[in-house]
Structure 1
Amino acid sequence: MSTVKESVDVEVPVRMAYNQWTHFAEFPNFMEGVEEVRQLDARHNHWITSMGGARREFDTEIVDQLPDDRITWRTIGGDTRQRGSVRFQRLDDAHTRVELTMDVDPTGVAEKGADMLGVIDRRVKGDLHRFKDFIERRGGESGAWRGRIRPEDPGSLA
């Protein structure tokens, strides 16, 4: 498994950055290779992605979510394996640090090659910078979900 860790400082309050991130349907607007994210319920999302010509569909489960602080997830079922966390750190009233950490287990020749060449690292870094541009340009979040999801088994978190 490869670990990717990136952060970006955005010029919006922490509440706005967090709220926008919880609007998963907007991910294709700033995440390269993400074609669709459909929220199934408070904990589950269905993803359609493409990387190096490999199209994948998979589901994720949010295992921990605390408004204005963090969202932690893992894939469930399927052949895509990853887990991660995005954290939101208030820097001041108008600035937030968004830090994304992901453990990715690439499957297939194309994804393993992309990982070895650092494509996944560069993609995540680019996604965060596109998120910065997206939220700062908007001037406000396009949606939000502020519920609390607690881990069912704290020992299973990344």
Structure 2
Amino acid sequence: MSTVKEAVDVEVPVHTAYNQWTQFEEFPRFMEGVDEVRQLDDRHNHWTTSIGGVRREFDTEIVDQLPDDRITWRVIDGDTRQRGSVRFQRLDDTHTRVELTMDIEPTGVAEKSADLLGVLDRRIKGDMRRFKDYIEQRGGESGAWRGRIRPEDPGAPHTL
């Protein structure tokens, strides 16, 4: 399994960066190779990606989410193996560090080759730069979800 880690400092308050990241269906606007993300409920998303000519569909589950701090997920169904976390660190009133860490297990010859050549690492670095441009140009978030998901109780309902 490969671990990719990238951080970017964005010129928006922490709540703005966090709120935008909760808008999963907007990810194709700044993530290369992400064709569609459909939010199924507060905890689950269905992804369609096209990377290196390989189309994949998979479902993710958010296992830990704390507003203005972190979102952690894992793939639960599909032909992709990954988990990750994005953390938000307030630098000052108008600047935030967004740090993405992903553990990815490449499957198939094309993905394993891409991983060895550093393609996955470069793609994630590019996605983070595009997120920075996206949120700074917007000047505000397109929406927000401020709920709490706790890892110790994955099936329990939660309130906003």
| TM-score over 0.5 (shorter chain) | yes
Corresponding pairs, count: 154
Partner of 2:57: 57
1:118 aligns with 2:98: no
Aligned partner of residue 130 in structure 1, secondary structure: helix
Partner of 2:25: 25
TM superposition shift of 1:77 = 1.9
TM superposition shift of 1:98 = 0.2
Deviations 1:42-78 (A, max 9, x none): 1000000011110000000000000000000000022
1:79 aligns with 2:61: no
Partner of 2:41: 41
| Residue type at the aligned position of 2:117 | L
TM superposition shift of 1:144 = 0.8
TM superposition shift of 1:79 = 1.7
Aligned partner of residue 113 in structure 1, secondary structure: helix
Aligned partner of residue 111 in structure 1, secondary structure: helix
Q: List aligned pairs for 1:2-17, cutoff 5 A.
A: 2-17=2-17
Structure 2: 5+ residue stretches without partners? 155-160
> How far apart are the structure 2 equivalents of 1:152 and 1:37?
26
> How far apart are the structure 1 equivalents of 2:118 and 2:62?
26
Aligned partner of residue 144 in structure 2, secondary structure: coil
| Residue type at the aligned position of 2:25 | A
TM-score normalised over the length of structure 1: 0.96
> How far apart are the structure 1 equivalents of 2:6 and 2:78?
26
Structure 1: 5+ residue stretches without partners? none
| Residue type at the aligned position of 1:121 | D
TM superposition shift of 1:19 = 0.3
Partner of 2:149: 149
TM-score normalised over the length of structure 2: 0.94
| Residue type at the aligned position of 1:116 | L
Q: Percent identity?
A: 84
TM superposition shift of 1:152 = 3.0
Partner of 1:88: 88
> How far apart are the structure 1 equivalents of 2:98 and 2:147?
19
TM superposition shift of 1:108 = 1.0
| Residue type at the aligned position of 1:55 | R
> How far apart are the structure 2 equivalents of 1:121 and 1:53?
18
